[in-house]
């Protein structure tokens, strides 16, 4: 079996080297993609392993290795980003905007029992260190680590084969955020949230493994996910739609675009939320876009919710981090 797998990997390496020599990128050819996918599927089926981007946990759980392999000085990187948040908070305060920081805890933190090993000691205290720094500077932060750890004892809050939270986790997070916000000075609205029939969901970690095009057992099983959608009730929102500014703005990452988090947040708050989250935003891209928007500078929201994933806190800090 190992010889057969080594042949598959060797074949892709030879093809790639030949392509380099003749100036052709064969990785874009469908047959090459299929070859690589077939080799990845065999590796998963026969050896129960993935590539270096995905960690296979127990009971069908997949984890992003970026959460587990820390760079040099992760806590120093975290503290640098905390300083950037404090600078942003001062700018927002001068505009009359209150900042709420929402850090989505690593999936591997909440489901350590499915990892097969203990988290690095530095990482074990990273989230609490973040909360401590922001709390000491009177920055509101939602402690989703505590909320999710408690909720996960009763129900699943992350997708097994995806980096993101599931519908239940998104709703739990939305309610936790809403508890941090006073809505008595905001124009209220009414919303209705509907659940839809469960559908098979093929997570992004399966795609990252390069086996999404293969059937089981050459890839992990899909999971069933119940999705929800939230709509405003038009009559209740007539006054709000005429408002000159968004009262509540959400900036963040793909988490804010998944599992109806934005809708669940509107439902929990009873207030319209302008969702300006961006795919692939990382720590700073969506907040930088917000700070540079002339319309939002002229009509700042009363509340800004800034969401990002915990794993971004520890990554090496780039020179472009200077946000203000």
For residue 157, give every residue at least 6 positions away whose Cβ sits within 8 Å of its Cβ, in sequence order, or none: 110, 148, 151, 165, 166, 168, 169, 172
Q: How confident is the model at residue 41 (pLDDT cuts 50, 70, 90)?
A: low
Q: How confident is the model at residue 245 (pLDDT cuts 50, 70, 90)?
A: low
Instruction: Output the average pLDDT for the chain.
Output: 86
28: three-class secondary structure by DSSP:
helix
Token output for 156: 């699943």
**Per-residue 3-state assignment (H helix, E strand, C coil) for 153-168:** CCCCCECCCCCCECHH
Contact 147, 176 (CB under 8 A): yes
pLDDT for 58 equals 94
Length of the chain: 324
For residue 163, give every residue at least 6 positions away whose Cβ sits within 8 Å of its Cβ, in sequence order, or none: 64, 107, 203, 204, 205, 309
* Cα distances (Å, whole numbers) of residue 292 to 149, 254, 288, 324: 36, 20, 6, 9
Contact 60, 221 (CB under 8 A): yes
Check pLDDT > 60 for residue 28. no
Number of H helices, E strands in the chain: 13, 11
Average pLDDT of the residues in 66-82 = 93
pLDDT for 46 equals 61
The per-residue pLDDT for range 189-206, each reduced to its tens digit, is: 999 999 999 999 999 999
Check pLDDT > 50 for residue 241. no
pLDDT for 306 equals 98
Q: What is the reported pTM?
A: 0.85
pLDDT for 7 equals 42
Check pLDDT > 70 for residue 235. no
Contact 14, 24 (CB under 8 A): no
Check pLDDT > 90 for residue 258. yes
Token output for 252: 């963040």
* Residue ranges per structural domain of the chain: 2-49, 73-201+223-321
Q: What percent of the chain is helix, strand and coil (3-state, nearest 5)?
A: 45, 15, 40
What percent of the chain has pLDDT above 90? 68
Half-sphere exposure of 306 (CA within 13 A, CB side): 28
pLDDT for 30 equals 58
Q: Before 214, cis peptide (omega within 30)?
A: no
Average pLDDT of the residues in 33-55 = 67
Q: How confident is the model at residue 144 (pLDDT cuts 50, 70, 90)?
A: very high
For residues 288 and 16, which has the higher predicted lDDT (pLDDT)?
Answer: 288
pLDDT for 15 equals 43
pLDDT for 242 equals 38
pLDDT for 240 equals 38
Task: Tell me, rounded to whole angstroms, the distance of Cα 229 from its chain centroid.
Answer: 19
pLDDT for 25 equals 53
Check pLDDT > 90 for residue 51. no
Check pLDDT > 70 for residue 87. yes
Check pLDDT > 80 for residue 186. yes
Half-sphere exposure of 110 (CA within 13 A, CB side): 31
For residue 281, give every residue at least 6 positions away whose Cβ sits within 8 Å of its Cβ, in sequence order, or none: 251, 252, 253, 254, 308
Check pLDDT > 90 for residue 18. no
Check pLDDT > 50 for residue 209. yes
Average pLDDT of the residues in 151-172 = 98
Q: How confident is the model at residue 323 (pLDDT cuts 50, 70, 90)?
A: low
Strand duo 248-251 + 199-201: pairing: unpaired
Q: Please, which contacts does 286-294 make with residues 24 or more away whose CB atoms are closer than 8 Å?
A: 286/251, 286/252, 286/253, 287/88, 287/251, 287/323, 288/323, 289/251, 290/249, 290/251, 291/88, 291/91, 291/323, 291/324
pLDDT for 122 equals 83
């Amino acid at each position: 079996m190992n010889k057969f797998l080594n042949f598959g990997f060797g074949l892709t390496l030879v093809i790639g080297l030949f392509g380099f020599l003749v100036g052709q990128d064969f990785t874009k050819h469908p047959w090459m993609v299929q070859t690589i996918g077939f080799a990845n599927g065999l590796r998963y089926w026969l050896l129960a392993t993935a590539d270096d981007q995905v960690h296979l946990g127990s009971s069908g759980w997949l984890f992003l290795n970026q959460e587990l392999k820390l760079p040099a000085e992760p806590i120093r990187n975290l503290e640098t980003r905390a300083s950037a948040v404090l600078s942003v908070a001062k700018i927002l305060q001068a505009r009359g905007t209150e900042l709420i920081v929402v850090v989505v805890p690593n999936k591997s933190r909440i489901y350590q029992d499915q990892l097969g090993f203990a988290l690095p000691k530095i990482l074990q205290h990273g989230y609490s260190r973040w909360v401590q720094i922001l709390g000491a500077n009177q920055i509101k932060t939602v402690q989703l680590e505590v909320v999710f750890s408690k909720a996960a004892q009763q129900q699943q809050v992350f997708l097994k084969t995806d980096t993101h939270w599931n519908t239940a986790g998104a709703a739990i997070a939305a309610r936790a955020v809403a508890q941090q916000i006073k809505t008595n000075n905001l124009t209220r609205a009414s919303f209705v949230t509907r659940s839809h029939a469960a559908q098979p969901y093929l997570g992004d970690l399966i795609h990252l493994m390069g086996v999404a095009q293969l059937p089981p057992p050459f890839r992990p099983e899909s999971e069933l996910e119940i999705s929800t959608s939230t709509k405003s009730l038009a009559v209740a929102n007539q006054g709000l739609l005429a408002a000159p500014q968004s009262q509540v703005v959400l900036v963040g990452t793909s988490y804010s675009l998944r599992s109806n988090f934005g809708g669940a947040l509107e439902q929990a708050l009873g207030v319209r939320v302008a969702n300006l989250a961006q795919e692939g935003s990382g720590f700073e891209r969506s907040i930088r876009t917000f700070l540079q928007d002339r319309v939002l500078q002229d009509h700042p929201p009363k509340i800004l919710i800034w969401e990002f994933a915990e794993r971004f806190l520890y990554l090496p800090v780039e020179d472009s981090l200077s946000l203000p």
